[in-house]
């Protein structure tokens, strides 16, 4: 559990509306005052050709503009994913557009890719001292006439700055964006993005390229995604984004807000989707499991269901900035208790069980 100071900090932040609280948190974290102990050595894991000090990372959307990367890494996260970044800056949807469902430890957001744009964010990342694993999550501008071209531009701009890249085609808050998950568009996007990534490497080391999908896909769509993912030369999949589902919520008033739901109520759905994708693609291709993780037990479950790496977002809002360090310490114990020498040993041990579960709702 969070300590006294952390709980007091959360109480103060929860008095502000969610976006103001978020801005204050980013401001505080950018000062980089808190420093967690380094993750225990048995959490080290090699995925995507990168050496992660911990498999627990911060999911995209928290530090959209790369303003607090070093402060966030110092909290004990094994990696931080910034963005979503679009080629041009954009303001996003009208406010209010972010809602806390406190009884459910959930958030509904319809921010709509508010961000400073690729040039500003690339300059910010290029100015920091190298160190730590920093992924860049890429998106398309709402008004773009050629969305695939926006992703290609993002790959061009960030391939030599980012530790890894993610094509985010699963935000529910940019109308039509999720259509890029349909087989034909999905294949066109992946092929063009892989080509751009390879070209940027210019014969040198290529930057790992992943795609982030929704947890709301039916079996047919997931099968097509698995098939095209494997044939396209892409390096991994992030499963997944926020959900449009509203099952298991006690806060009926907030549940009616439009947008994507994240946090505890997403855990079951996102973990089942992760396991189903793992089963379809087999071992080997890296998967990042994200959705509803707020404890080491939940993080271990993601590994067992088939994730190589795990990300957290909403869990940090409700449990505080110490969450990464707490998950690290306890996950190291849980792995040792089961005689797993490293996170890799746990990956996929319970894929079949999770893949067979019915989706909630
Ligand atoms: C306020 C908010 C903003 C988000 N913005 C982004 C984003 O810009 N890009 C993205 O890929 N995911 C975004 N996400 C989704 C998270 O990265 C994550 O996939 C999702 O919240 C599920 O994880 P969680 O239950 O741990 O929060 C956002 C989530 C929240 C709550």
Condensed to tens digits (0 to 9), the pLDDT of residues 60-98 reads 999 999 999 999 999 999 999 999 999 999 999 999 999
> How does pLDDT run across 179-212, given as a tens digit for each residue?
887 878 999 999 999 999 999 998 888 999 999 9
> How does pLDDT run across 206-254, given as a tens digit for each residue?
999 999 999 999 999 999 999 999 999 999 999 999 999 999 899 888 8
Percent of the chain with pLDDT over 90: 81
- Provide mean pLDDT across the span 298-304: 98
Residue 8 pLDDT: 83
Can you give the C-alpha Rg of the chain in angstroms? 19
Pocket test for ligand 1, best of 13, 18, 61 (most atoms within 8 A of CB): 61
Nearest atom within ligand 1 for CA of residue 60: 17
Q: What is the CATH number of domain 4-355?
A: 3.20.20.70
- Is 163 labeled as catalytic in the residue annotation? no
- Provide mean pLDDT across the span 128-154: 96
- Please check the confidence at residue 175 and state whether its pLDDT lies above 80: yes
Residue 296 pLDDT: 98
Enumerate the domain spans of the chain: 4-355
pTM score, two decimals? 0.97
Which phi-psi region, left, alpha or beta, contains residue 135 (left: φ > 0; alpha: ψ -120 to 50)? beta
> How does pLDDT run across 280-296, given as a tens digit for each residue?
999 989 999 999 999 99
Mean pLDDT, the chain, as a whole number?
Answer: 94
Task: Indicate the pLDDT class of residue 17, thresholds 50, 70 and 90.
Answer: confident
Could you tell me the distance, in angstroms and rounded to a whole number, from the CA of residue 61 to the centre of ligand 1? 5
Nearest atom within ligand 1 for CA of residue 240: 19
Write b or e for each residue in 205-224: b if 16 or more Cβ atoms lie within 10 A of its Cβ, otherwise e.
Answer: ebbbbbbbbbbbbeeebbeb
CA distances to 99, 152, 255, 259 from 250, rounded to whole Å, are: 14, 41, 8, 17
Query: Residues with Cβ < 8 Å from 109, sequence gap 6 or more?
Result: 61, 97, 98, 99, 173, 242, 259, 260, 262
Name the catalytic one among 171, 185, 231, 232. 171
Could you tell me the distance, in angstroms and rounded to a whole number, from the CA of residue 16 to the centre of ligand 1? 20
Nearest to 60 by CA among 43, 80, 40: 80
Nearest to 355 by CA among 295, 270, 248, 272: 272
Of residues 125 and 23, more confidence is placed in 125
- Please check the confidence at residue 1 and state whether its pLDDT lies above 70: no
Distance CA 318, CA 114 (A): 22
Task: Sort strands 98-101 and 106-109 into parallel, antiparallel or unpaired.
Answer: antiparallel
């Amino acid at each position: 559990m969070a300590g006294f100071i952390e709980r007091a900090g959360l109480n103060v932040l929860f008095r502000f509306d969610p976006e103001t609280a978020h801005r204050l948190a980013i401001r505080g974290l950018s000062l980089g005052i808190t420093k967690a102990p380094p993750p225990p050595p048995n959490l080290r894991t090699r995925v995507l050709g990168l050496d992660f000090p911990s498999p627990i990372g911060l999911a995209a959307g928290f530090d959209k503009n790369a303003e607090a990367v070093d402060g966030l890494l110092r909290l004990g996260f094994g990696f931080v994913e910034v963005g979503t970044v679009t080629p041009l800056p954009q303001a996003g949807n009208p406010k209010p557009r972010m809602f806390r469902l406190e009884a459910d430890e959930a958030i509904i957001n319809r921010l709509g890719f508010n961000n400073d744009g690729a040039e500003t964010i690339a300059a910010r990342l290029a100015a920091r001292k190298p160190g730590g694993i920093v992924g860049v999550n890429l998106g398309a501008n709402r008004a773009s006439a050629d969305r695939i071209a926006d992703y290609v531009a993002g790959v061009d701009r960030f391939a030599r700055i980012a530790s890894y890249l993610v094509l985010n085609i699963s935000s529910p808050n940019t109308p039509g964006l999720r259509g890029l998950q349909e087989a034909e568009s999905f294949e066109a996007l992946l092929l063009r993005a892989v080509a751009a990534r390879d070209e940027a490497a210019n014969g040198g080391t290529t930057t790992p390229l992943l795609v982030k999908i929704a947890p709301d896909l039916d079996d047919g769509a997931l099968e097509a995604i698995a098939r095209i993912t494997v044939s396209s030369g892409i390096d991994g999949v992030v499963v997944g984004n926020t959900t449009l589902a509203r099952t298991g919520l006690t806060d009926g008033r907030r549940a009616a807000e439009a947008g994507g739901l994240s946090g505890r109520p997403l855990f079951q759905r996102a973990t089942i989707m992760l396991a189903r994708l793992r089963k379809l693609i087999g071992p080997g291709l890296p998967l990042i499991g994200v959705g509803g993780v707020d404890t080491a037990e939940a993080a271990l479950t993601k590994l067992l269901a088939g994730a190589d790496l795990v990300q957290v977002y909403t869990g940090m809002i409700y449990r505080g900035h110490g969450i990464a360090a707490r998950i690290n310490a306890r996950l190291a114990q849980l792995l040792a208790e089961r005689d797993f020498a490293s996170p890799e040993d746990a990956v996929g041990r319970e894929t079949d069980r999770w893949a067979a579960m019915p989706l909630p709702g």
